[in-house]
Amino acid sequence: MNIKQKVVLVTGGSGGLGGAHCLSLATAGFKVAVAACNHFDKAKVVVEKIKQMGKPAMALKMDVSNIDEVEESISQVENTLGPVDVLVNNAATGIVRAVTIVKTKMQDWARDITVNLTGPFNTIKCCLPGMMERGWGRIINISSIAGKMGGAGQCSYATAKAGLIGLTKTVALESARKGVTCNVLVLGPMDGGAFHEVAPEFQERIIRTTAVRRAGTPEELSHMVVFLASEESSYITGEAIEISGGAGLFTF
């Protein structure tokens, strides 16, 4: 694919799936900024692996919920690797929490909405002007089937992930004629990251809701991330693309 040393910023790059995206994007030829809020050590490990491949990368400490920190981090990326051409909004909280709305604590609701929805708003707000000015950009948001179908015990997470689909379509409309695309990946269970924190019997129950009866591999997801980040995806924008092994299908 036509990558031409473009710069990609991955939020939550220290996470299970975020780390996999960083490695796939580096393999494809992108310069990768691996952003992490907590677990900064894990982001450094990802960067080390990329550097061992002989490719440029940097680790960044960035809390997506703090717009000043986002702004500062993006200028760090610009100074080190170059302007951000591709933004992958992968960071999230509340992925495996299962608490009914009645018992949901205000602080958990606020944190999930702030990280999972205001976070992408902040990063897009800071990266989009430069992308539009340069006439090229790719924004890839990571949502969940909980945002499309609802999720029992996941009111804040599902609400934020549903909002991300609306945000994606709006940004796509506002930037399409400036060479920027914005799409959202709607994930089912993936064999990595937060899914590994779910108790085995619940993993089994979730997998039974997929038509293929298994979790997706991080690579099955990262290939789509790389494609959407490339030149070749230029006519795809505003799409909510489900990568879920058919989790939305009628299966029994």
Any idea which residues carry the catalytic annotation? 157
What CA–CA distance (Å, rounded) separates 117 from 208? 29
Q: What are the φ and ψ backbone dihedral angles of 61, each rounded to 5 degrees?
A: -95, 115
CB 76, min distance to ligand NAD, A: 15
What CA–CA distance (Å, rounded) separates 155 from 105? 11
In terms of CB distance, is 30 or 157 closer to ligand NAD?
A: 157
In terms of CB distance, is 84 or 194 closer to ligand NAD?
A: 194
What CA–CA distance (Å, rounded) separates 36 from 195? 19
Query: Mind giving me the DSSP string for 55-116?
Result: --EEEEE--TT-HHHHHHHHHHHHHHT-S--EEEE---S-SS--B-GGG--HHHHHHHHIII
CB 192, min distance to ligand NAD, A: 6
Q: For residue 7, list its beta bridge partners.
A: 31
CB 134, min distance to ligand NAD, A: 25
In terms of CB distance, is 69 or 174 closer to ligand NAD?
A: 69
**DSSP type of residue 85:** -
3-state secondary structure of 34: strand
Cα–Cα separations (whole angstroms), residue 222 to 10, 18, 48, 166: 12, 9, 19, 23
CB 146, min distance to ligand NAD, A: 7
CB 235, min distance to ligand NAD, A: 25
In terms of CB distance, is 91 or 131 closer to ligand NAD?
A: 91
What CA–CA distance (Å, rounded) separates 46 from 58? 9
Binding site for ligand NAD (CB under 6 A): 11-12, 14-18, 36-39, 63-65, 90-93, 95, 115, 142, 144, 187, 189-190, 192-195
The tokens for 25 are 């994007």
In terms of CB distance, is 86 or 136 closer to ligand NAD?
A: 86
The tokens for 178 are 């400036």
Sign of CA dihedral 99, 105, 106, 107: negative
